[in-house]
Chains A and B, each alone.
Chain A
Amino acid sequence: AVAEEAKDEL
């Protein structure tokens, strides 16, 4: 992902 942290939520 582009963001600092992956978006692993729904």
Chain B
Amino acid sequence: MNIFRFVGDMSHLASFFLLLAKLIYTKSSTGVSLKTQALYLTVFVCRYLDLLVAFVSWYNELMKIFFIAASAYIVYVVATSTRNSNASDTYRVEFLVIPALVLACFVNETHWSKGGWSLNVMEILWAFSIYLEAVAVLPQLKMLHQLEDTTNITMHYMASLGIYRAFYLLNWVYRLYYEGYWHPIAVVAGIVQTLLYADFFILYYQSVLLRLPS
């Protein structure tokens, strides 16, 4: 594992702790999009089905289990939070889920001649999870743009997700150059996903960094 991948993973891990800290210490899920969190849970469950059939490393196994468990817990907390009206969580997620599923059915890494039926369904779900992750942040972005008063911790949560994406891009450049490793589906979707965060970082700069005492 190269340093870019590791920094990316740690930033991703940090994003979970930032969000959990926000939910637990402020006892409020205001400003957190339930839709985005439910999409992330869907992403992790669909992508990490390989936990059942393939072992890569303890690092991968534990991270995957943590990502599924933490996102399930976050969805539970936000969904049951009475203080959150969710009035501004208005993104139409069917416009994300359905195209991602259709695209995954046509553009995926299945090898029908080689794999069994269940393994190929897993490949379709893997591609679906990649496409869905690329756009899953959109409901949260829409909320951030609508809400005047977003807590800094929610913004730091988003920033750590953005850093995770950026370092994964560096990781892929590194792996392509030194290992010849390259999954076009993941790379193209990853570039799209990272570009979506560019919009967030402009907001982050304006609303968080410019407010810091100089």
Footprint of B on A, CB under 8 Å?
1-10
Neighbour of A7 across the interface among B5, B110, B115, B183, CB < 8 A: B183
Cβ A8 vs Cβ B114 within 8 A: no
CB-CB nearest in chain A for B111: A2
Neighbour of A1 across the interface among B5, B50, B57, B171, CB < 8 A: B50
Cβ B115 vs Cβ A8 within 8 A: no
State whether A2 and B114 are in contact (beta carbons under 8 Å apart), knowing that A7-B126, A8-B60, A10-B63 are contacts in the complex. Answer: yes
Interface size class of B (residues with CB under 8 A): 20 to 34
Q: Main secondary structure on chain A at its contact with chain B?
A: loop
What is the CA–CA distance of A5 and B12 in the complex, to the nearest angstrom? 24
Cβ A10 vs Cβ B126 within 8 A: no
What is the CA–CA distance of A7 and B63 in the complex, to the nearest angstrom? 14
